[in-house]
């Protein structure tokens, strides 16, 4: 018996054969509906032919032992949008299972951290990733990370806050307002992304002031501020203007 942490990627069809094999073994399936924008649960249930339990913040952070203890007698899976170890919440599940001497297995999925390569910007040229929270009025951390990355000529990926339970998603426009409000040039080239990894993904490359007027549609979103670019990166970005 084991606890399986499974990254299901950015779209239902991203699920690996390895992940499907693990799901078949499991009696209990949980899906994280707190740290990520979940895919259509009914679609997944049809795909797996199994019932999926929605795990909210309370369950994942304060009642995680209940999930882990079930793995003593039955195979249990926690499904996570993107990669399964991108959030500290899921790392804690691994740590707790080890403390309780319960076997666990990690099955990775496609993540936003690799899908940004769709912009043509080299993953090798990205510096530290930053998150922009909803309540960012007196928050300088994300902007400081940008400044430090720029000093090294590195690209900066901004993950924008989200709360799927309350249907709240920080927009690209709000991220730009935060960055320019802290000192970023309004003429800075930026790359706005929505729904990366899906058929209806959207990427736009514009100056910060201009991109605020673009409607990106449904979430999830992320924002990239390019650093020093290779000519091939520059040429590729032209496709998104």
- Domain extents for the chain? 3-110, 113-240
Which residues is 18 bridged to in the sheet?
Answer: none
CA gap 222, 132 in Å, rounded: 10
pLDDT value, residue 34: 72
pLDDT value, residue 151: 98
Task: List pLDDT tens digits, range 5-54.
Answer: 999 999 888 999 999 999 999 999 999 987 666 567 888 999 999 999 99
pLDDT value, residue 13: 87
CATH code at 113-240: 3.30.950.10
> Structure pTM?
0.91
What are the E-state strand segments in 101-236? Answer: 104-107, 130-132, 156-160, 162-163, 168-169, 189-194, 202-207, 221-225
**Average pLDDT, stretch 127-139?**
95
What is 3-110's CATH number, 3.40.630.30, 3.20.20.220, 3.10.20.30, 3.40.1010.10? 3.40.1010.10
CA gap 159, 181 in Å, rounded: 18
**Average pLDDT, stretch 139-158?**
98
């Amino acid at each position: 018996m084991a606890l399986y942490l499974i990254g299901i990627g950015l779209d239902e069809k991203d699920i690996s054969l390895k992940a499907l094999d693990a799901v078949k073994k499991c009696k209990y399936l949980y899906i994280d509906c707190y740290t990520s924008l979940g895919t259509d649960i009914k679609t997944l249930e049809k795909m797996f032919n199994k019932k999926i339990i929605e795990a909210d913040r309370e369950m994942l952070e304060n009642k995680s032992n209940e999930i882990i203890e079930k793995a003593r007698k039955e195979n249990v899976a926690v499904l996570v949008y993107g990669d399964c170890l991108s959030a500290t919440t899921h790392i804690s599940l691994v740590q707790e299972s080890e403390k309780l001497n319960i076997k666990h297995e990690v099955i990775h999925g496609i993540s936003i951290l690799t899908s940004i390569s769709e912009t043509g910007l080299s993953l090798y040229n990205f510096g530290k990733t930053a998150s922009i929270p909803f309540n960012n009025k007196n928050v300088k951390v994300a902007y400081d990370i940008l400044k430090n990355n720029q000093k090294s000529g590195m690209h900066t990926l901004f993950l924008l806050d989200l709360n799927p339970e309350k249907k709240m998603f920080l927009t690209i426009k709000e991220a730009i307002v935060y960055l320019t409000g802290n000192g970023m040039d309004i003429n800075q080239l930026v790359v706005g992304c929505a729904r990366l990894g899906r058929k209806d993904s959207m990427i736009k490359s514009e100056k910060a002031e201009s991109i605020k007027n673009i409607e990106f549609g449904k979430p999830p979103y992320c924002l990239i501020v390019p650093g020093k670019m290779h000519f091939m990166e520059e040429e590729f970005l032209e496709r998104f203007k």
